[in-house]
């Protein structure tokens, strides 16, 4: 059985952290190097998958996918987008945290691990129709702030992250607006926090399903 929401460690998201990230999600300032995903039917069975270098997409497709990815961190902070912490038990072998860490480290280049995620997601997510899971891998050189004495061109760290977005699809796999998704690791105080995740859900049912997947 899943845990009650009240027992999941929650935190506050700084809206400025999210806006800083989304400014790197444009055609001119793109932070993504890879996109992967799967198309699933309403029963959760995979109809097909894809895995591509982001910059090999046409500019039109890059923009479509940038809009999908950006919708997660740009959503209503601490209302639709909430921060959750992974406890020690959540980080044990075989848990979803371990899979997300591995996907981040390999830059989404391991299709077998992605398939494990798609299968797990399809078993627990309640959908009204066909949908797609989009994964994006990005890197952001976090610059020093202007009030610090060191050069602004120097970076404090390279934040490597995943964005997952779940969208309804229609016709020839045309995506609608994201219904839910997440940013992992959390971007907190302008830094990576591998023990936390920022989770987006447009509706309460999707929030519940996503929590069951991330925190079984």
Split into its structural domains, the chain has a count of: 1
Q: Which residue has the tokens 């991330």?
A: 214
CA distances, 202 to each of 23, 65, 124 (Å): 22, 18, 17
* Tens digit of each residue's pLDDT (9 = 90 or more) over 130-150: 999 999 999 999 987 765 444
Q: Which residue has the tokens 């923009």?
A: 63
Sign of the CA dihedral 162, 186, 125, 120? positive
Q: What is the DSSP letter of 96?
A: H
Integer-rounded Cα Rg, in Å, for the chain is 17
* H/E segment holding residue 141: strand 131-143
Enter the pTM of the model: 0.91
Domain extent, residue 131, equals: 5-214
Q: How many other C-beta atoms are found inside a 10 Å radius of the C-beta of residue 176?
A: 13
Q: How far apart are CA 91 and CA 154, in angstroms?
A: 33
* Tens digit of each residue's pLDDT (9 = 90 or more) over 165-183: 999 999 889 999 999 999 9
């Amino acid at each position: 059985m899943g845990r009650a929401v009240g027992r999941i460690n929650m935190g506050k998201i700084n809206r400025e952290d999210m806006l800083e990230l989304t400014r790197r999600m444009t055609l001119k300032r793109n932070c993504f190097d890879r996109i992967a995903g799967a198309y699933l039917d309403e029963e959760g069975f995979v109809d097909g998958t894809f895995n591509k270098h982001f910059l090999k997409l046409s500019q039109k497709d890059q923009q479509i996918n940038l809009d999908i990815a950006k919708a997660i961190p740009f959503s209503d902070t601490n209302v639709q987008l909430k921060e959750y912490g992974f406890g020690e038990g959540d980080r044990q072998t075989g848990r979803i945290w371990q899979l997300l860490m591995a996907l981040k480290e390999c830059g989404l280049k391991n299709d077998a691990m992605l398939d494990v995620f798609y299968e797990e997601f399809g078993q627990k997510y309640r959908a009204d129709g066909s949908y797609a899971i989009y994964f994006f891998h990005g890197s952001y050189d976090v610059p020093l702030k202007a009030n610090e004495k060191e050069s602004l061109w120097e970076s404090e760290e390279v934040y490597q992250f995943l964005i997952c977005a779940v969208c309804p699809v229609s016709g020839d796999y045309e995506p609608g607006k994201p219904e839910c998704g997440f940013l992992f690791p959390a971007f907190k105080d302008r830094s990576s926090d591998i023990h936390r995740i920022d989770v987006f859900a447009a509706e309460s049912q999707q929030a519940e399903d996503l929590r069951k997947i991330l925190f079984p």
